Structure 1
Amino acid sequence: MALLAMVLAATQADGRARDLAIPFEGKPGPLNAITDVRGVEVGQITLIAGEGALKVGAGPVRTGVTTIFPRGHSDARAVYGGFFDLNGNGEMTGRAYLEDFGIVQGPIGLSDTNAVGQVYAGIQQWSAKHTGSATWPVVAETWSGYLSDIDGFHVTSEIAVAALDAAKPGPVEEGNVGGGTGMVCFGFKGGIGTASRVVLIGGKTYTIGVLVQCNTGDRKVLRVAGTPVGQALARRWLPCFDPKLAANADDLPPCTADGSMGVTPPDQGSIIIVVGTDASLTPNQLDRVAKRAAMGLARLGSYSGNSSGDLIVSFSTAVAEVNHEDQDKPDPIAPVPNATINPIFEATVQATEEAVINALVAARTMTGINGARYFGIPHDELRAILKRYNRLESPVR
């Protein structure tokens, strides 16, 4: 553990999709983040250490933990939740409770594939200490093995507790941070991204926020604002390795200046999508909202490949006391009528699309195990492609 550099990654000041004049539909909240949903807090711890050849247990390390508190770290009350399994080659705990009772208990944890147990234990330890009872949390994963010593088990329950303690409202860090540190998205460096939308239904204003941990996608199908960005960049900025750092690069070719000698990775990553809202919705309605997040991913061209674990959890903070297994007198719920729910569906699609693009834009080029290098999407070239298709906002905001 002494070898690990425990750091908080760069903030949104590094740039977001709207800073590049990428156009989006819908009205975002003030922060354009999941924390626009009142009460939601996000905590992240990033672990980056070492370079060169992989030595299991020693590194290099490119990993971390992201946590989401639906009601904030000082409010342990459960929330109504929903779930959708777009493609099940992945893991998300708490699904039985979600499917039977429609409830999310405590904070949600995101991390590496091999860290699910440690993050689960950390959340239980934290909740037992702070609330007097260990909860059954939702913990989900994506695989960082392209860049990190994933079999070294560098994420511990203590790291998860630190991410919980770091939770706060306000701007959310994106890109190479938290659980997204070692992730790859559409063949570019990926990671954490977030966005939000505000809708008006029946004279009431509701917020829908999305956070993604993106480690999925086939480069050639990537579309940004409807333009075929993946095709335009299909042969450049591809994964490769730096021969100065390692002799063994897992069959990746040596890097050229623009990554034109790299290889295109298959769509075998994963994505976790978390959707939160302050709209009063039943668990059944939240299942339907989770399905719409999959449509936001599809806008980017994703076909949810066979080896990708694409899992979605949703929650609503509107009801003070949910009908959990020991609840005698739950708060009455007056859900948004199904006849007027469409703006929430549309907002979920829009916010999911933007959250993934924010993850791509915020992520920076990273070199990991055996000198493997994954490039951040090139901002200037991205803008040039969008300009050719007349898809840039003007002026840059």
Structure 2
Amino acid sequence: MELTQAPRRARELGIVVGSRETGPWNAITDVAGVRVGHTTLVEGDDIRTGVTAIVPDQLDHRRALPAGLFVGNGHGKMVGSTQLAELGEIETPALLTATLSTFRVADALVSHMLRLPGRESVQSVNPIVAETNDGYLSDIRARPITAEHVHAALESASAGLPAEGSVGAGTGTGALGFKGGIGTASRRFTGGTGTASSEGAVTVGVLVQSNFSGLLRVLGVPILGRPAEQTGNSCVIVVATDGRFDARQLSRLARRAVFAMGRVGADFAGGSGDYAIAFSTAAPDGPPLPEAELEPAFASVLEAVEEALLNSLFMATTTTGFGGHTKHAVSHEQVLRALRESPGRGDRGHRDRGDS
């Protein structure tokens, strides 16, 4: 029987990851000035792909933002990664797409940056573009993404709750035996000196493009999935924060973002490109957060990425595409039943809402 269910985020299902406070949207856009836009491309029977843009408005008046990178496994393409790692900064929005469209997206992003007011004499731009392979559901060799699709994602970027699931760069992805996609979440914690506000509150927001293998676990409980048609195929995680972190500290946050994939069952296959970048929007007018006060930031990243990955699956819809291949959405009922039947299921935050 074909699955019929409305997309719902983890918390709408009563599944709560961790104990830390979220931002108002529980999304990367809870970091002030960060916007998200998608272009979703569904054409005929064979094209299921798109572009997702994470746009920090702070780049409108600053040449670059401090940033860090962690590569869990480098079997992927991330344009701009070497300069990011070398200089510890990003100077463009971060864009996500499909593997063979990476280079067209990067070219379009460069054109976009060169056209911005005040950049008439710019002679070097380091575009940040990452990918996962959506070739199971989309004709990846067709490389259907155009500059117009890239510009549309950038121009449509907005605050508020971003679309999740089978949208943008997540249109044709699959993860952990189910339909994957785009997911987002956030956490807030109270820091000390070097925080972004007078109240000492720091927001960490994440957005993921899930497309990797393994056995899905929800709050530590295994969820039986369909056998993976192929291993690997990658995950990209973007972490934004308004906390004052330097590039080295941001690399440490990015490392925890990749570690969080293990919480939902990633097998970290050798054919998977697992990348995380982290950037800070904080004004460069004070010292970074002291090393002794990083633990809440680490915990916040781990929780937010875990929840974002679950959202990417729970918000996805069953999709049929290239070659008649199908990726099935994970059954919410199956997940909730597994949680109810698992001893100690409440230890990591599940709240039974009586769903059956």
State TM-score, norm by structure 2. Answer: 0.90
* Residue 195 of structure 2: aligned partner: none
Q: How does 1:2-151 map to 2 (within 5 A)?
A: 14-25=7-18, 26-51=20-45, 60-71=46-57, 74-75=60-61, 77-131=63-117, 132=119, 133=122, 135-151=125-141
Contact 1:295 1:349 (C-alpha < 8 Å) held by counterparts: yes
CA–CA distance in structure 1, aligned partners of residues 26 and 250 of structure 2 = 21
The answer as to 2:240 corresponding to 1:276 is yes
1:62: Cα distance to partner?
Answer: 0.3
Corresponding position of 1:260: none
- SS of the aligned residue for 1:124 comes to helix
CA distance in 2, matches of 1:28, 1:200: 12
Superposed CA deviations along residues 272-331 of structure 1, whole A, max 9, x for unmatched, are 000010000010000111111122111112231100000111100113xxxxxxxxxxx4
C-alpha displacement of 1:268: 1.6
C-alpha deviations, 1:49-81, integer Å up to 9, x for none?
112xxxxxxxx1100000011236755641100
1:347 aligns with 2:300: yes
Aligned positions of 1:138-177 closer than 5 A: 138-177=128-167
Equivalent residue number for residue 393 of structure 1? 351
Could you tell me which residue of structure 2 aligns to residue 3 of structure 1? none
Measured against aligned partners, the alpha-carbon deviations of 1:342-369 in whole angstroms (never above 9, x if no partner) come to 1001000000000000000000000001
Cα distance in 2 for partners of 1:267, 1:76 equals 40
Q: How does 1:296-315 map to 2 (within 5 A)?
A: 296-315=260-279
Inter-partner Cα distance in structure 2 for 1:300 and 1:146 = 22
Counterpart of 2:78 in 1: which secondary structure?
coil
Q: Is the 8 A contact 1:123 1:135 kept in 2?
A: no
Match of 1:209 in 2: 205
Q: Residues of 2 paired with 1:318 and 1:296: CA distance?
A: 24
Contact 2:177 2:216 in 1 (8 A): no
Query: 1:243 is matched with which residue?
Result: none
Q: Name the CA distance, whole Å, in 2 between partners of 1:396 and 1:92.
A: 43
Distance across 1 between alignment mates of 2:341 and 2:167: 32
Q: Which residue of the other structure, out of 190, 193, 218, is the alignment partner of 1:200?
A: 190
- Aligned-partner SS, 1:155: coil
- In the alignment, the residues of structure 1 paired with residue 249 and residue 206 of structure 2 have an alpha-carbon distance, to the nearest angstrom, of 16
Larger radius of gyration: 1
Unpaired segments of 5 or more residues in structure 1?
A: 1-12, 52-59, 239-262, 320-330
Q: How many matched pairs? A: 334
Matched residue of 1:370: which SS? helix
1:336 to 281, 286, 289: 289
After superposing the two structures, state which structure 1 stretch, 202-211 or 305-314, moved more. 202-211
Equivalent positions of 1:352-363 (< 5 A) are: 352-363=305-316
On the 8 A contact 1:88/1:311 being kept in 2, the answer is yes
The ranges of structure 1 where at least 4 consecutive aligned residues each deviate by more than 3 angstroms after the TM superposition are 72-77, 394-397
The structural deviation recorded for 1:199 is: 0.3
* Shift of residue 271, structure 1, vs aligned partner: 0.2
The two structures have a TM-score, normalised by structure 1, of: 0.81
Report the Cα offset of residue 332 of structure 1. 4.6
Paired-residue identity, %: 40
Q: Cα deviations across residues 166-217 of structure 1 (Å, max 9, x unaligned)?
A: 1111111001000110000111000100000000112500000000000002
Residue in structure 1 matched with residue 322 of structure 2 by the alignment: 369
Q: Deviations over 1:205-254 (max 9, x none)?
A: 00000000000022xx321111111xxx24xxx3xxxxxxxxxxxxxxxx
Unmatched segments (≥5 aa) in structure 2: 1-5, 193-198
What is the Cα deviation at residue 396 of structure 1? 7.1
Partner-residue secondary structure (3-state), 2:116? helix
Q: CA RMSD in A?
A: 1.7
Q: Which amino acid aligns with 2:263?
A: R
State the 1:266 CA deviation. Answer: 3.7
Q: Which amino acid aligns with 2:135?
A: G
